[in-house]
Amino acid sequence: MNINNFTIKSQEVIQHAQILAQSMENPQIENEHIYKAIVEIDENVLPFVLKKLNVNISLVNQILEKDLESLPKVSGGEILFSKEAGKTLNEANVIARKMEDEYVSIEHLIVALFKSKSKISKILKDQGIQEKDLLAAIEELRKGGKVTSQSAEETYNSLNKYARNLNDLADKGKLDPVIGRDEEIRRILQILSRRTK
């Protein structure tokens, strides 16, 4: 596994998973550590996907915490990836190549975790997630884009992150009325409706 093939966010996830395993005194980094690291590091991909699939996020996190607490504890020694976690990282690499991406990103890790034979995979499947729905949600998030840079996750859903949808707010009645600006509004509409600006 070449860590340079991973995006910056997914590298952070792997490092954070190692820190989690150390802090919990677990002998190996498991898939559950990787998932928890994604939850704590990623603010774009996983929340969007889980909301799209109507997953009870707090319930998943509670079950995950109980599973992590039940893992064996050992103090000292070097922490390596478990056999299953190693398979997951290799599978994420394979998924990235199948999706014709240059780097392994968070969504590849999520799909690989889902396909694994680990407890977190079972937890997600128990929430009613199916692989085709997971892939569809990821495709909707990416809007046909490919992972061609190491900071690709930062560009996902950026419009919703940095802007407000005024049409949506107007539909919900959450915009203040514009009173006494009739002339300015007409002028703006006149300017915007010209063919050349």
Tracing tokens 């884009």 back to the chain, one arrives at: 145
Higher per-residue pLDDT: 185 or 147: 185
Return d(Cα 132, Cα 135) in angstroms, integer. 5
Length in residues, the chain: 197
DSSP per-residue string spanning 82-134: -HHHHHHHHHHHHHHHHTT-SSB-HHHHHHHHHHSSSHHHHHHHHTT--HHHH
Q: What is the dihedral of CA 98, 18, 120, 60, to 10 degrees?
A: -120
Is the pLDDT at 164 greater than 60? The verdict is yes
Is the pLDDT at 159 greater than 70? The verdict is no
At 181, the pLDDT band (50, 70, 90 cuts) reads: confident
Q: Where are the domains of the chain?
A: 3-162
The token duo for 13 is 């996830």
What value does the mean pLDDT take over residues 156-185?
77
What value does the mean pLDDT take over residues 56-73?
86
Exposure letters 128-161 (e unless 16+ CB within 10 A, then b): ebeeeebbebbeebbeeeebeebebbeebbeeee
Architecture of domain 3-162: Orthogonal Bundle (1.10)
At 154, the pLDDT band (50, 70, 90 cuts) reads: low
pLDDT for 179 equals 79
- 129 pairs with which residues across the strands? none
Is the pLDDT at 45 greater than 70? The verdict is yes
Is the pLDDT at 163 greater than 80? The verdict is no
What value does the mean pLDDT take over residues 131-144?
83
By CB neighbour count within 10 A (0-12 exposed, 13-18 middle, 19+ buried), where does 34 fall? buried
Measured from the Cβ of residue 50, the count of other Cβ atoms closer than 10 Å reads 20
Is the pLDDT at 93 greater than 60? The verdict is yes
pLDDT for 160 equals 63
